[in-house]
Structure formats: C-alpha cells, structure tokens
Amino acid sequence: MIVENQYFREAMARLGAAVNIVTTSTPEGDMGFTASAVCSVTDTPATILVCMNKSSRIAGAFRQAGPLCVNVLNADGEQLSRIFAGQQGLSMPERFAQTAWQRLSTGAPVLEDAAAALDCLISNIVEVGTHQVMFCDVQEIKLYPAASGLVYHQRRYHRLETAQGAI
C-alpha cells in the first residue's frame, strides 16, 4: 500500500514537536536552519538524530561539517524560528546577527537564550527519501534557566511555560 504524500503530511502535522535551530560552523561561515525533526536515539552514548531536507541550499554544508548544535527554542523563540526557516528572506549572516551566540566544545553556534543546547559531532549521515538523517554524538550540553518551550503542532506555534520546581 502506498501512502499519499499529502495524507502523510497531515498526519505529521498532528504530531507536536519541539522547535529547534540547528547550527554548524564551516569555513564559509555559520549556517543554520529551523527543525522539528530532532529526537533522542540513546543516552549511552548520548546520541541524537536530526533530519534535514537534502535539497536545502545548506544541506551540503552539514554534510561537510563535523560540528552541529541543536538549540532548543524557549517559548519566546517563534520569531527566530521563522527567521531561520527563511521566511524573512535574510542572508545567513543577517540571521545570526538577530541574536547573541556563543561557542562550546565543537565550535558550532550556540544560542545564548535557548532552553537547552546539545553541542554535537556528526557521526553518520543516512539518506532516506527526500531527507538526510544526521546521527550526532553529543559532546556537551548547556541547560539554560528559562526552560520554557516552543512546539509546532497543527502548523502553528504553541508556547509551553515552565512548571514550578523544574530544574
């Protein structure tokens, strides 16, 4: 049985997902994109996966780079998500100029006000259909005090506020 693309996309729209900005550093400069297809693979060793459309203009930069950082957006990150999704028509340097960044062990850009940042090295890339799936070994984690979250569900952003007593 073959599932229709549009029917599949509608089902996936009902799967709420955290909103992230995934970044890397290359000789040509910093690169990044908005992603919701990010998940844990295992905690021993700490490994995540990130999916990216292989027809993206910056997909090659991620194939060539070793470092990658998943910046989990806090509840106030909707505008930045739209910027890194390319909705504002800004160049990559202009996108990065919109907010403050730092570097951890891999050198990939780390968003200073993210809910969390997972600084990684890409260990393997597998192509599946229209996407490349990047398996990433987590090198360092930074948890930020503002641990609220932002999710994408039913093609809309939704804010998640921090519960009392959260770490």
The fold of the 5-159 domain, in CATH, is Pnp Oxidase; Chain A (2.30.110)
pTM for this entry: 0.92
Residue 163: per-residue pLDDT: 64
Q: Side chain identity at 103, as an amino acid letter?
A: R
Please state the domain extents for the chain: 5-159
pLDDT of the residue at 167: 47
Average pLDDT over residues 152-161: 91
Average pLDDT, the chain: 92
Q: What per-residue confidence (pLDDT) applies to 11?
A: 86
The 10s digit of each residue's pLDDT in 19-43 is 999 999 999 999 999 999 999 999 9
